[in-house]
Structure 1
């Protein structure tokens, strides 16, 4: 018997509300399959299972808010059946249950729970299709019934589902109900947006933990981007608009390849020791429209072409802002990149997301006087910074990491 628990979806998550089951008792599940959707202070998240099996029991009802580590369901292992699972003797109050008792909520083993981390399966996730129909599965008594698509849209519009009238089966709120309410309701009459304040508190708690527990050190490198910019312009001129690459894609690829070459930057600090990861899943800091920030991951970045990486980045940003992320995209990042270049910031020194040990900051590209072949000329440059955990690495390793990024961006055609 396998216990399926609510995973920790980031250092800033303590609990989540179950909004939908996508499985029922008797269903067969496979590793990587989305089995539930939960809602945190930051986003709606599709939760995947890391086991094959058959659903035995759903232990949490839709609408319940539960802490990280709570047993949400139990699965029979492949080949296991109800008759082969040892049951306690009838009337024996002291007999053990057929499943182990729930452990105290704790963060899951981030190394084994991943294959290695990622923002996705070994490939980018494909969001499941939702309609205006009411969700299936257990529904908590006296709670509003609302489809996943309608819930996401209500969140985007700042609407409180408890104040909406449903026209679906059994009074369920559909996507059409949400849109109709939005069209006929004045903005100032909508429910107050306490979600943004709650998110700020959550982020503050996570970053306070980061600064309290992690001995940060900081380095920065100003990288000439003339070669990369010229190569990018020549490459994009040969492609239609929808296939053109962003400079951010070059930087993401360079960071990932450098992390593979400098393993002290790619891994996790857990249980007072550092565990390096062989795969590189890059978390991308993305600002939410309603305020706040999350950093879901793109998986296996060094092994992807620039075209694929561009597509993955665009998809990730769109799904992040529409609330369609997967749990692996929260738990799998091995290193994070935050890019504030589009905000005109010259340099950014961020706080590390535990249990990661490094974060790369990217500033805006600016024109600077630079010596090229003995002459001074204006060229585009970008400041790339590193926030690193001194328990896992030191300044010499950090400097090597940044210089590797520099060398890769000086040879963009090799990326």
Structure 2
């Protein structure tokens, strides 16, 4: 028997609110199935299960806010359960003596709260709407089945935010502030910058897209992500987590992507195993991830599993950026805009498309020498996009 707990979905997440159960007692689940929706400061997140089995009991009811690590459900093994067992059959609750020790006490399922309105909205969204005088009926929800989320209320909020002393930060802004403050307080950052000439990459991209319809075309961002993921896979000291005073490298590269969320805020969900994805598949996943993240919808593994992050402000016309590492990661790579600049080509001075790439590294896990080799490797990969 396993216990499904409230996951940690961010460096400074302390608790989450259960918005909805997508499975009921008696349902069979498999690794990767979405079984619940949890609301955090960054929106509603679909939470996956990481074992096969049968839902034995739901331990937290809809609307409850519980700390990270609290048991949400119990999942039994399938070895003694017939495969044709009806989904509506609920297993008898286990006796307390058979329960495994938990870091948090098991909560008792209470009857679902009676909604004051037929509108589907998370508790946090209702509270914020009441505080800001927003009519929930006027909001089109972006959550599961049209549920209204915190981000939807933020977008529809009445009146400008306060400025100056006593700045009224949103919940998401507070979460970002806490994570970034922790990063700058705990992580000894160092920064490197390198300019890359992109003629070959852009010419190859034009040829690749020439005979393809728009939905099948690649963007430069896909090539950048693939080159970054491959380089990180070679330089393991930049890919992983610094926890408990030591660095734990990760073999797969789950590449986080800094994405602006609709209504304000930022999230960096990851594309899993990005180094091993074909470019077309990587582009398809990136499109899907960006679309969902802008609505504040992403999965728990996309939030919690990123081993390194890429941030780009090139579409905003920024030449370069000095990003802040998201703990417990140990590196973040920044990409600026593509600009036409003078470039020394052998004995000639020519104009070429150039992009500035930056690296923020954690000096506890890596150093500038290896960081410079990492940036150089990204350049080499972008010089041969046909091999990506």
* Residue of structure 2 equivalent to 1:27: 27
How far apart are residue 335 of structure 1 and its match? 0.8
1:141 equivalent among 93, 113, 131: 113
> CA separation of 1:393/1:85 partners in 2, compared to 1, >3 Å: closer, same or farther?
same
How far apart are residue 138 of structure 1 and its match? 7.0
> For residues 94-148 of structure 1, what are the alpha-carbon distances to aligned partners after superposition, in whole Å with 9 as ceiling and x for unaligned?
xxx321343059xxxxxxxxxxxxxxxxxxxxxxxxxxxxxxx97642445767x
* Residue of structure 1 equivalent to 2:294: 321
Kindly report which structure 2 residues correspond to 1:47-126, keeping only aligned pairs within 5 A, or say none.
Answer: 47-79=47-79, 87=95, 97-103=97-103
* Residue of structure 2 equivalent to 1:117: none
* Residue of structure 2 equivalent to 1:347: 320
Deviates more, 1:313-322 or 1:79-88: 79-88
Return the alpha-carbon distance in structure 1 between the equivalents of residues 315 and 253 of structure 2: 25
Name the SS of the counterpart of 1:364 in structure 2: strand
How far apart are residue 316 of structure 1 and its match? 0.5
Return the alpha-carbon distance in structure 2 between the equivalents of residues 177 and 55 of structure 1: 24
> For residues 271-327 of structure 1, what are the alpha-carbon distances to aligned partners after superposition, in whole Å with 9 as ceiling and x for unaligned?
222111111111010001211100001111111121111111111111112233111
Q: Does 1:246 align with 2:219?
A: yes
Return the alpha-carbon distance in structure 2 between the equivalents of residues 352 and 200 of structure 1: 17
Name the SS of the counterpart of 1:249 in structure 2: helix
How far apart are residue 393 of structure 1 and its match? 0.8
How far apart are residue 260 of structure 1 and its match? 0.7
Return the alpha-carbon distance in structure 1 between the equivalents of residues 94 and 64 of structure 2: 29
> For residues 337-374 of structure 1, what are the alpha-carbon distances to aligned partners after superposition, in whole Å with 9 as ceiling and x for unaligned?
00000111111111111111110011111111001131
TM-score scaled by length of structure 2: 0.83
Question: Relative CO higher for 1 or 2, CA cutoff 8 Å, sep ≥ 6?
Answer: 1
* Residue of structure 2 equivalent to 1:18: 18
* Residue of structure 2 equivalent to 1:363: 336
* Residue of structure 2 equivalent to 1:263: 236
TM-score scaled by length of structure 1: 0.78
Q: Does 1:275 align with 2:221?
A: no
How far apart are residue 224 of structure 1 and its match? 0.6
Return the alpha-carbon distance in structure 2 between the equivalents of residues 336 and 359 of structure 1: 5
* Residue of structure 1 equivalent to 2:3: 3
Name the SS of the counterpart of 1:39 in structure 2: strand
CA contact (8 A) 1:285 1:336 kept: yes
How far apart are residue 376 of structure 1 and its match? 0.3
How far apart are residue 216 of structure 1 and its match? 1.2
Return the alpha-carbon distance in structure 2 between the equivalents of residues 236 and 104 of structure 1: 53
> For residues 156-215 of structure 1, what are the alpha-carbon distances to aligned partners after superposition, in whole Å with 9 as ceiling and x for unaligned?
xx966995479xxxxxxx97898xxx9xxxx78699999962211110001111111111
Q: Does 1:41 align with 2:37?
A: no
Return the alpha-carbon distance in structure 2 between the equivalents of residues 304 and 383 of structure 1: 25
Name the SS of the counterpart of 1:74 in structure 2: strand
* Residue of structure 2 equivalent to 1:111: none
2:260 equivalent among 266, 287, 291: 287
| Root mean square deviation, CA, Å | 3.2
Return the alpha-carbon distance in structure 2 between the equivalents of residues 252 and 195 of structure 1: 35
Aligned length: 357
